Amino acid sequence: ETRAGRFVRQHVDYPKTSAPNNRIYCNLLMQRRGLTRPRCKPINTFIHAPTSQLRNICGRGGRPVGDNLRDSNRSFGVTTCRVLPGSQPGRCRYRAATRVTRVRVACVRRLPVHLERTYLP
């Protein structure tokens, strides 16, 4: 798996996967994307936008903020999943928060490879 491919697997969900509620969404997606083994990943953010829009942050759709980091010019819908205390690998449970926010990504060869953070403009 390439770094860019891992970024997509861990952080891109477009169109947003359907689930009865956001808590179930997080539990489902974290498991489906392989983020619950060998341990429950403590926090992960899914961005609900096409991969092409996220790639664009590494070009004209973003502005440099030092090193290989770039801030998106536009906001995206995101769901952030945080692990609940007492979760065990294989039975990880998450709480969810959704919002519309800008993102900061690390780019390598004009492709996003790491989600640094989300922030409000």
Delimit the domains of the chain by residue range: 3-116
Examine the residue annotation and report whether 11 is marked as an active-site residue of this protein: yes
Among 23, 74, 93, 114, which one carries the catalytic annotation?
114
What pLDDT, in 10s, does the model give residues 39-80?
Answer: 999 999 999 999 999 999 999 999 999 899 999 999 999 999
The mean of the pLDDT values for the chain is 97
Choices 2.60.40.740, 3.40.50.2000, 2.60.120.680, 3.10.130.10: CATH for 3-116: 3.10.130.10
Q: Which residues contact 53 (CB under 8 A, 6 or more apart)?
A: 61, 74, 76
Residue holding tokens 């489906």?
32
Among 8, 10, 11, 112, which one carries the catalytic annotation?
11
Examine the residue annotation and report whether 114 is marked as an active-site residue of this protein: yes
Residue holding tokens 């390439």?
2
In this prediction the pTM is 0.96
